């Protein structure tokens, strides 16, 4: 399948949208919000087909949850457009400006990137989020979701286009869905130099690696989430247990869920049995020898013994994004070893320390290499909505241009505007 006509249409959409002011873009977004709301029954019907097909193919339930929509979830996704409408339009903002010695007026002004392509796995919410952020920041966007969410994405994009077409100031050419389901179209997108200005992968390590290796267009790299929780010797145990439960069990199939828990050796005998009791068999623990020994010592007569699956950690368990009810556990000697382990095994996404020791907290914050570093807060807050962005394009784990949850600024760059009175060099 050739996407050439789609590329050309998006380029026209980007040119038109790049000249639109905030009021026009907000009018288009408001029309989309109304159209999505009116089409909730059709979108949920399409999503039910995707979910049924996913279960029939044996997709694990934590990933089915990531795919699934219900009226409450869909209403929440749609409501995030309101936050984006209310945010300040970044386009045209002057980042800095000065007068040169020869009298030239130099301004650095924020502008759209142009046409973005996002390649993502089975999260229908991304379809709405990515479109909304791109549209408000003056960019056209090509959406390429996974085949597992194809029916959902078709229904959502149909509603988006209907909304833009219903608005006199809307620009329907600013959004398109690559919907053939063929993997060939991914290669075509990633090599569309001159048409696609930036590609964003959002999904697991395999998808991200594929995009980075195949793309000849610029890529903003997001990361899979091998996220850690380190419980320090001074950490409050109740706080640690609450955070561990939330960060692992609330939605294990998302990238900001923890996959590894590190525990200080001096409190391991208190913390680990308490964690096992709270989890009560809701997750498998894959333990290093020291952690396994603590569990085995505490097992006799404990209520969690019959429900909790304990196994010795394998060679890859501290380097795996499980996206499931599995937690790798390791006992460490202190904050320095915890940081060293994290930096050796993480994906630079989100990391947390539970501690009441200010020096340990500052050491962790300075030394851990990650987009988001938490102290006594669940990693589940690494999210555009939670950060007040309304939505996100993904979590950038690179160090250039943008890092962390990507909001409106992620799809902008700058150019210099120079004005003078005939100066020559």
Q: Does 184 or 377 have the greater pLDDT score?
A: 377
Domain 227-381 -> CATH class: alpha beta
Q: What percent of the chain has pLDDT over 70?
A: 100
The token pair that represents 71 in the structure block: 């009226």
Among 266, 250, 262, 307, residue whose Cα is nearest residue 288: 262
Q: Which residue intervals of the chain bear CATH 3.40.605.10?
A: 4-222+406-419
pLDDT score, position 204: 79
pLDDT score, position 202: 87
- The predicted model scores a pTM of 0.83
For residues 43-48, give the mean pLDDT. 97
75-94 pLDDT tens trace: 999 999 999 999 999 999 99
Gyration radius of the chain's alpha carbons: 24
- Nearest-angstrom CA–CA distance, 275 and 243: 10
The token pair that represents 67 in the structure block: 């795919």
**Sheet hosting strand 227-231, strand order edge to edge:** 310-312, 284-287, 326-332, 258-264, 227-231, 350-354, 372-375
Confidence of residue 205 (pLDDT cuts 50, 70, 90): confident
Residue 37: is it exposed, middle or buried by C-beta count within 10 angstroms (0-12/13-18/19+)? middle
Q: Which residue intervals of the chain bear CATH 3.40.309.10?
A: 227-381
Residue 329's DSSP bridge partners are: 261, 287
The CATH number of the structural domain formed by 4-222+406-419 is 3.40.605.10
φ/ψ (deg, to 5) at 406: -100, 110
pLDDT score, position 385: 84
267-314 pLDDT tens trace: 999 999 999 999 999 999 999 999 999 999 998 888 898 899 999 999
Measured distance between the N- and C-terminal CA atoms of the chain, rounded to whole angstroms:
51
């Amino acid at each position: 399948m050739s996407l050439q006509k789609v590329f050309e249409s998006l380029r026209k959409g980007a040119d038109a949208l790049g000249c639109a002011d905030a009021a026009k873009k907000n009018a288009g977004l408001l029309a989309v919000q109304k159209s999505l709301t009116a089409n909730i029954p059709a979108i949920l019907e399409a999503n039910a087909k995707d979910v049924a097909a996913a279960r029939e193919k044996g997709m694990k339930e934590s990933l089915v949850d990531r795919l699934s929509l219900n009226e409450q979830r869909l209403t929440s996704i749609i409501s995030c457009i309101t936050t984006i409408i209310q945010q300040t339009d970044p386009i045209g903002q002057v980042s800095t400006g000065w007068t040169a010695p020869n009298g030239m007026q130099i301004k650095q002004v924020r502008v759209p990137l142009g046409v973005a392509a996002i390649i993502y796995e089975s999260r229908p919410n991304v379809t709405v989020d990515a479109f909304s952020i791109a549209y408000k920041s003056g960019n056209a966007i090509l959406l390429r979701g996974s085949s597992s969410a194809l029916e959902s994405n078709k229904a959502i994009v149909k509603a988006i286009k209907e909304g833009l077409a219903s608005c006199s100031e809307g620009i329907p050419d600013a959004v398109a869905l690559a919907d053939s389901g063929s993997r060939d179209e991914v290669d075509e997108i990633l090599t569309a130099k001159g048409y696609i200005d930036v590609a964003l992968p959002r999904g697991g390590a395999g998808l991200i690696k594929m995009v980075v290796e195949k793309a000849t267009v610029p890529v903003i790299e997001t990361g899979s989430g091998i996220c850690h929780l380190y419980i320090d010797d001074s950490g409050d145990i109740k706080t640690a247990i609450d955070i561990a439960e939330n960060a692992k069990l609330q939605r294990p199939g998302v990238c900001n869920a923890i996959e590894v828990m590190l525990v200080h050796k001096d409190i391991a005998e208190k913390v680990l049995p308490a964690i096992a009791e709270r989890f009560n068999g809701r997750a498998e623990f894959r333990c290093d020898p020291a952690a396994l020994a603590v569990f085995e010592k505490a097992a006799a007569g404990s209520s969690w013994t019959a429900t909790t699956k304990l196994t010795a950690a394998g060679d890859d368990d501290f380097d795996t994004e499980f996206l499931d009810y599995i937690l790798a556990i390791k006992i460490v000697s202190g904050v320095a070893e915890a940081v060293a382990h994290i930096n050796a095994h993480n994906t630079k996404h989100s990391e947390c320390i539970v501690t009441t020791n200010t020096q340990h907290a500052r050491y962790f914050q300075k030394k851990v290499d990650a987009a988001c570093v938490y102290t006594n807060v669940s990693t589940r807050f690494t999210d555009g909505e939670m950060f007040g962005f309304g939505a996100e394009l993904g979590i950038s784990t690179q160090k250039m241009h943008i890092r962390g949850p990507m909001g409106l600024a992620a799809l902008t760059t700058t150019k210099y505007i120079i004005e003078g009175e005939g100066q020559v060099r």
